[in-house]
Amino acid sequence: MARKTLVAANHKMNGTLQSVKEICQNLNNAQLDPNVETVVAPPAIYLLAARETLKKEIAVAAQNVFDKPNGAFTGETSAHQLKDASVDWAILGHSERRTILGETDETVASKTKYATDNGISVIWCCGESLEQREAGKTLEVIAAQLAALKKEVSDWSKIVIAYEPIWAIGTGKVATKEQAQEVHASIRKWLKDNVSQQASDETRILYGGSVSEKNCKELAQEADIDGFLVGGASLKPAFVDIINCKK
């Protein structure tokens, strides 16, 4: 069975109530490729507005979710609260949370397990720094991140992997299609060797890192690239062109 393309918008800490609604209305009004699953991740304060504005075919994602049920966890959001708000996705393990907020591989894995166990699908991010790539450690770093996830997770059906080289996020630098395909293929092989053939065949692997309407078509042609996690370009009308890049 072919893997369905997924394109997700990570708004990060950007936008206003008005701009989020405008982005959502623009997506509602656009002719989007029906063969692409579209997910929008606005800042937490705008999740409800996005869900209420977007047509039901477009999913909404939180940019974080905690690994405990409701309780005395100031500033956090639970999987149960997301489900209550009809938010069915979360982005976890983004390099900005790993590097700026100190989330470890183990923390990200724990959050992913709790989210998926409680009905939230997860876009789980991995990637290497420029120093790690230049040292030839890209695949080693990603294998370690995957191994931490495997310790916690047994059901991979609600996990989408996003490969985001840290050196390409917000820098304008993009991995070449060959660089991206090499890492995506290695992730798929890791899944085959360490999880199952089914997980390898069915898990979608997205590319992220300065994706734009200018480079998405070429990247999308690679066999193991199943879509994109889009940052800055998702705030612009051209995000529609990225969703439709295979049409």
Paired tokens of 21: 């609604």
52 is catalytic: no
Average pLDDT over residues 58-65: 98
Question: Measured on CA atoms in the order 218, 224, 230, 234, is the torsion positive or negative?
Answer: positive
In this predicted model, what pLDDT tens digit does every residue of 94-103 receive, in sequence order?
Answer: 999 999 999 9
| pLDDT interval class at 1 (50, 70, 90) | low
* Cα pseudo-dihedral 196, 200, 203, 208, rounded to 10: 130
Residue 11 is a catalytic residue = no
The 10s digit of each residue's pLDDT in 37-57 is 999 999 999 999 999 999 999
**Measured in whole angstroms, how far is the alpha carbon of residue 57 from the centre of its chain?**
18
pLDDT in tens, 21-36: 999 999 999 999 999 9
Kindly state the average pLDDT of the residues 149-166: 96
> Using CA atoms, how far apart are residues 199 and 130, in angstroms rounded to an integer?
29
Name the packing angle between helices 105-117 and 138-152 (round to 10°): 40
Beta strands in 17-128 (DSSP E): 36-41, 59-62, 89-92, 121-126
Of the residues 11, 37, 94, 128, only one is catalytic, namely 94
Mind listing the pLDDT tens digit for each residue in 87-129? 999 999 999 999 999 999 999 999 999 999 999 999 999 999 9
Between CA 145 and CA 128 the distance in angstroms is 10
121 — phi, psi (to 5°)?
-80, 145
Q: Is 9 helix (H, G, I), strand (E, B) or coil?
A: strand
- Arithmetic mean of pLDDT over the chain: 96
| Catalytically annotated residue among 96, 103, 128, 164 | 164
**Terminal Cα-to-Cα distance of the chain (whole angstroms):** 19
Where along the chain do its domains lie? 5-243
The answer for 70, left when phi > 0, alpha when psi is -120 to 50, beta otherwise, is: beta
Which sign, positive or negative, has the C-alpha torsion 133, 11, 243, 50? Answer: positive
Query: Which tens digit of pLDDT belongs to each residue from 159-213?
Result: 999 999 998 888 888 889 999 999 999 999 999 999 999 999 999 999 998 899 9
Give kind and range of the element (H or E) at residue 210: none
* β strands within the chain, DSSP E: 5-10, 36-41, 59-62, 89-92, 121-126, 159-163, 205-208, 227-230
Q: Is pTM beyond 0.95 here? A: yes
Evaluate whether 238 touches 217 at the Cβ level (below 8 Å): no
Residue type, 63: Q
The SS3 assignment for 121 reads strand
User: What CATH class does 5-243 carry?
Assistant: alpha beta
Handedness of CA 213, 217, 219, 223 (dihedral sign): positive
